[in-house]
Amino acid sequence: MLSTILASSTSLMGLGAGLGAGIAVLGAGIGIGNIGRAAGEAIARQPEATENIRGNALILSALVEGVALFGVVVALLLALGATDFPKA
């Protein structure tokens, strides 16, 4: 059974796509969690800078989420079998 799975390239592509999407989302969750933790600590240390810290944390969270979105899009392209990639 394992040889049948390994012989099929489409099943491996689907497996890779699933793992890639999962790792992208997991990395984004860890990154946003670290941003939130650091922002909470910074606000606790310097309450007068709350607005600046909150704004910076929001921008950083959006950037991390954008990178995760790119990872999920690439994984979806793999899962759907997109083969017409431009050649540079």
Angle 57-62-51 from CA coordinates, rounded to 5°: 30
- Do 29 and 61 form a contact (C-beta atoms < 8 A)? no
- Do 17 and 85 form a contact (C-beta atoms < 8 A)? no
Residue 64 confidence (pLDDT)? 93
Looking up tokens 């704004």, which residue turns up? 55
Least confident of 25-29, 57-61, 75-79: 75-79
Residue 41 confidence (pLDDT)? 96
The full set of domain ranges for the chain reads: 37-81
Confidence of residue 39 (pLDDT cuts 50, 70, 90): very high
Average pLDDT over residues 30-56: 95
